[in-house]
Amino acid sequence: MMAQLQQGGPDEKEKTTALKDLLSRIDLDELMKKDEPPLEFPDTLEGFEYIFNEKGQLRHIKTGEPFVFNYREDLHRWNQKRYEALGEIITKYIYELLQNECHLKKVTLPVDAIETEPKSFIFMSEDALVNPDKLLVLIHGNGVVRAGQWARRLIINEDLDSGTQIPYIKRAIEEGYGVIVLNPNENYIEIEKTKAQIPLSADISDEPAEKRERKDKIQKETKKRRDFYEKYRNPQKEKETMQIYIRMIQREAEVKNRVTAVALTDSVHNVWHQEVGKTIREWMRENCCNWVSSSEPLDTSVESMLPDCPRVSAGTERHELTSWKSFPSVFKFFSEAVKAKNSLVKPTPTRRSNRIKYEEF
């Protein structure tokens, strides 16, 4: 009996045979005629029947209810595409808020780009490049977020205050900062691939005919399976695109000389993987602080194995909320750093008694 169980046993073999027989009688092409609805969505918030209320919360125009992801049951991919389409509209909405509510101007990059060159953009206050005292530069994390955003999920499911950089911008302007809002995820453009740009298989004309025919057969079978899977996974085949990156530059020395303080919010950087040298690690220890997701109260010191910069609790265990929850502490950190610099004393990332001390590795 033990031997039969280990080998699957006669019952398992019968079940396997029955399953194979059932699958052989299913017309998968007919089954897939239940294709998802067209991936065509509104291009405005009103088209989605949503609006941001006076509290900055996204609500349905008619019901007043929060956003519903599962708009159509058993169509996860379609619902996801709908969510992404809404996200693109929200990105444009935030851009408008940066310009109309925060009074920032949109600036094209590179500044010396020629007409046919791929371009990106950032947002700046009028005094960003001429403010004699201080400048706040905001940089979001990676992913789908764009300039002015911390987390799309928070914008859609919570509110604009927790999900966008707008509270930081307004506070900075009130305190006399110039402001630059960077847009690092907008660093390439996507264009549709032409047939000439789709890579072809390697030339194997010098191989024996038998070997070439065998390879051709394998490639055709592989392509057939791949196409079948793709039809099932993606019934509405989308365009194949390629990415063209926007020209960038790095100014490490200039940044180190001119930046007074850097506040990180649950940053996932790694000084080892990014081959950061000793001088940069020393600079980070003196000028940076990372507010990480933690169950500890806000500003409590958090131990780390990495010799980069002090880490303190952001007062929340949710990664996407760390920027919002650490908001008051970040500005306190900046204020202390500016005072320390003006008095020629090195800045303190947080409470001196809680500061993490690292030994050189």
Using DSSP's 3-state secondary structure scheme, residue 4 falls into helix
Please state at what angle helix 166-174 crosses helix 76-100, rounded to 10 degrees.
10
Over the stretch 101-116, which tens digit does the pLDDT of each residue have?
Answer: 999 999 999 989 898 8
Q: Which two structure tokens, joined as six digits, stand for 222?
A: 């592989």
pLDDT of 289 higher than 90: yes
Q: Which two structure tokens, joined as six digits, stand for 2?
A: 């033990």
Q: Whose CA is closest to 316, among 350, 266, 264, 262?
A: 266
Using DSSP's 3-state secondary structure scheme, residue 151 falls into coil
Cα separation, 96 vs 99, in Å, equals 5
Confidence at 248, pLDDT banded by 50, 70, 90: confident
Q: What percent of the chain has pLDDT over 90?
A: 50
This prediction has a pTM of: 0.73
Q: What mean pLDDT comes out for the span 79-93?
A: 95
Q: What mean pLDDT comes out for the span 31-35?
A: 53
- SS in 3 state form for the chain? CHHHHHCCHHHHHHHHHHHHHHHHCCCHHHHCCCCCCCCCCCCCHHHHCEEECCCCCEEECCCCCCCCCCCCCCCHHHHHHHHHHHHHHHHHHHHHHHHHCCCCEEEEECCCCCCCCCCEEEEECCCCCCCCCCEEEECCCCCCCCCCECCHHHHHHCCHHHHECHHHHHHHHHCCCEEEECCCCCCEEEEECCHHHCCCCCCCCCCCHHHHHHHHHHHHHHHHHHHHHHHHHCCCCCCCEEEEECCCCCCHHHHHHHCCCEEEECCCCCCCCCCCCHHHHHHHHHHEEEEECCCCCCCCECCCCCCCCCEEECCCCCHHHHHHHCHHHHHHHHHHHHHHHHCCCCCCCCCHHHCCCCCCC
Task: Specify the higher pLDDT residue, 352 or 317.
Answer: 317
Q: What mean pLDDT comes out for the span 162-183?
A: 97
pLDDT of 354 higher than 90: no
pLDDT of 278 reads 77
Q: CA dihedral defined by 15, 17, 21, 22, rounded to 10 degrees?
A: 20
Cα separation, 78 vs 39, in Å, equals 7
CB atoms within 10 A of CB 169: 24
pLDDT of 207 higher than 70: no
Q: Which two structure tokens, joined as six digits, stand for 297?
A: 């109260």
pLDDT of 351 reads 45
